[in-house]
Amino acid sequence: MKRVGILGGTFNPPHNGHLLMANEAYHALKLDEVRFMPNAIPPHKEMRLPATDKQRMQMLQLAIAGVPYFKVEKIELESGGVSYTYNTMHLLQEREPDTQFYFIIGGDMIDSLHTWYHIEELISFVQFVGIKRPGTEAKTTYPVQILETPEMNLSSTVIRQRCQDGGPLKYILPEAVEAYIREEGLYGARKIT
């Protein structure tokens, strides 16, 4: 049976914290691949997407370039609407019945699992894998396999603010993603000349 990790999110923009989480899960769980799954409309976040779906996809492709076990999963963007993990994982399991999926979440999502749509049913067919983040409890009554990994306190919100303020982006974003953000003028970032 194929073992696939799913890392969902807005990826607005994708950053080195996302890559670290995916890589740690890949190795710890001996996965065949990890798929980055951008959502269309996130149910747990205010909808503020300064980057288009196409731009988020392009940034993800740039972020994972050269890593053969990283892929992009487009199912939620193709489905459109609010992206509920319960519905998405049902679709993925129907499409790939011979795959065991591991849904990778950060500490903030572990803390809020009790608010997820149909969480009781979801935990019956999806293995949750949690990765702690500084400033989160990372505790829940639901079955989550917690991985001990290096913690990186990065968020897309902080990165967007840095872009707007002209702050440094080196070492928090893949170089190709930073270049793309500057080229496109995303998040108020200025081109470096």
Mean pLDDT, the chain, whole residue set: 91
CB 125 within 8 A of CB 148: no
Q: Provide the pLDDT confidence category of residue 111 given band limits of 50, 70 and 90.
A: confident
In sequence order, what DSSP letters do the residues of 29-71 get, joined into one string?
TT-SEEEEEE-SB-TTS----SS-HHHHHHHHHHHHTT-TTEE
The whole-number average pLDDT for the span 146-165 is 88
The whole-number average pLDDT for the span 146-172 is 89
pTM: 0.92
What pLDDT is stored for residue 45 in this prediction? Answer: 60
What pLDDT is stored for residue 91 in this prediction? Answer: 95
CB 64 within 8 A of CB 71: yes
The whole-number average pLDDT for the span 98-125 is 92
The whole-number average pLDDT for the span 38-49 is 71
Q: Provide the pLDDT confidence category of residue 154 given band limits of 50, 70 and 90.
A: confident
pLDDT in tens, 161-190: 999 998 899 999 999 999 999 999 999 888
What pLDDT is stored for residue 189 in this prediction? Answer: 84
Q: Provide the pLDDT confidence category of residue 46 given band limits of 50, 70 and 90.
A: low
Domains of the chain, with CATH numbers? Answer: 2-152 (3.40.50.620)
Q: How far apart are CA 177 and CA 164, in angstroms?
A: 16
Instruction: State which of 45-59, 93-107, 141-155 shows the largest mean pLDDT.
Output: 93-107
The whole-number average pLDDT for the span 104-120 is 90
Query: Smallest Cα–Cα separation from 164: which of 193, 180, 186?
Result: 186
Of all residues in the chain, the percent with pLDDT exceeding 70 is 96
What pLDDT is stored for residue 44 in this prediction? Answer: 65
